[in-house]
Amino acid sequence: MSGFVHGLSYGAVIVTVLMTVTAFSLWFERKLAARMQSRLGPTLVGPAGILQPIADVLKLLQKEDIVPLKADAVLFNLAPPVAVVCAIGVAAAVPFSPTVVAADLDVGVLYVLAIGAVTVLPVFTAGWASNNKLALLGGMRAVAQSVSYEVPLVLAALVPVILAGSMRIGAIVQFQSDHHWFVAWPFFLGIPAFVIFVLAMLAEANRIPFDIPEAESELVAGVTTEYTGMKFALFYMAEYVHTLVASAVASALFLGGWDGGPFRPGLHWMVLKTLFLFAGLYWIRWTLLRFRSDQLMRLCWRYLVPSSIALVATAGVWVVFVG
């Protein structure tokens, strides 16, 4: 029973912080994007527009709820909350410090990958239930993309598992704390695995340059075409939370998590690394163009899959013969 209470209490704290960070990251992203395009971004609500996300949430709460007549209403209404639960749920197994973790599962890496992969189901459900051609095409694209990028994602995450000899994320971070961050040593395994992991994770979260499922120039808004108000906002939130939590996972697996190098380890290192990675993803988002579907597939199956398999094999050889 203590486990349940632990999950509830730590869950309440972690989820609250996640939601707050997500809300203000919207402001940060809009400001960053605006500066990159010689604009000012939000300025009116609060100092430098920092209260803009709160205004947005209040606006979305008031929006009329429209369910298309021809849609499958049950699935249509079920998909957004499921998407949010899946996106937040990944955070359960992520250790932010040796003690701040909701459930440090022994199969942590497997759990994170599994729940991360499930997030495509509500997206496809929404596309199907809308009974809208644009939404359905978006859903199909999301499935094709997630299904493909799942393979390099799992294999890239396998590299730290092999090097540390554990699937518990806390143990992987502790191993890096005792030895080296995987991105620093063995860097010829750590850096490529990190890059593949981040690319595949961007594709899983449907972010630019892999946001083909919602390509607004072709598909209006993809699966969210028919959604209004808070249900639309939940999908939007799920995407941001997914990216944020995936950044946390990448920080823990490759960047040493709570370890601070020569400095005292602590929660703040994990938070800093996650936010830096997250901001880097925004940078990518506002710099790169969108891939075409065939380019996306070719990148995955021709290059990422074989190179991640080669990485796993090299990691095995490295662990057996060297370390």
Partner 1 sequence: MIRWHSEGLQEGRFTVSQGLALVGFLLVSAAVAASLLVGARLLRVRARSSSRLKRETYECGETPNAPAWVQFHARYYVVALFFVLFDIEAALVLPWGIITREMGKGGLWAVGSFVGVLMLGWVWGIRKGTLEWV
Tell me which residues in 134-153 interact with partner 1 (CB under 8 A). 134-136, 140, 143-144, 147-148, 150-151
DSSP output for 200-217: HHHHHTT-TTS-GGG-HH
Site for partner 1 in 236-295 (CB under 8 A): 293-294
Among 1, 44, 74, 289, which residue sits at the site for partner 1 (rule: CB under 8 A)?
1
Among 20, 43, 288, 317, which residue sits at the site for partner 1 (rule: CB under 8 A)?
317
Site for partner 1 in 99-128 (CB under 8 A): 102-107, 109-111, 128
The C-alpha atoms of residue 270 and residue 16 are separated, in whole angstroms, by 17
Binding of partner 1 by 299 (CB under 8 A): no
Region of 34-42, 132-140, 255-263, 270-278 interacting with partner 1 (CB under 8 A): 132-140
Binding of partner 1 by 165 (CB under 8 A): yes
The C-alpha atoms of residue 228 and residue 234 are separated, in whole angstroms, by 10
Shortest Å, Cβ 317 to partner 1:
7
Shortest Å, Cβ 211 to partner 1:
17
Burial of 131: CB neighbours in 10 Å, binned 0-12, 13-18, 19+: middle
Q: Name, in order, each residue with C-beta under 8 angstroms of 272's C-beta and a sequence gap of 6 or more.
A: none
Cβ-contact 323, 190 below 8 angstroms: no
Among 162, 199, 255, 311, which residue sits at the site for partner 1 (rule: CB under 8 A)?
162
**Residue 241 DSSP label:** H
Nearer Cβ to partner 1 (41/265): 265
Site for partner 1 in 186-205 (CB under 8 A): none
Site for partner 1 in 60-89 (CB under 8 A): 60-71, 80-81, 84-85, 88-89
The C-alpha atoms of residue 251 and residue 256 are separated, in whole angstroms, by 6
Among 131, 185, 191, 284, which residue sits at the site for partner 1 (rule: CB under 8 A)?
131
The two tokens of residue 43 are 């300025």
Q: How far is CA 22 from CA 1, 57, 185, in A?
A: 31, 12, 32
Shortest Å, Cβ 234 to partner 1:
6
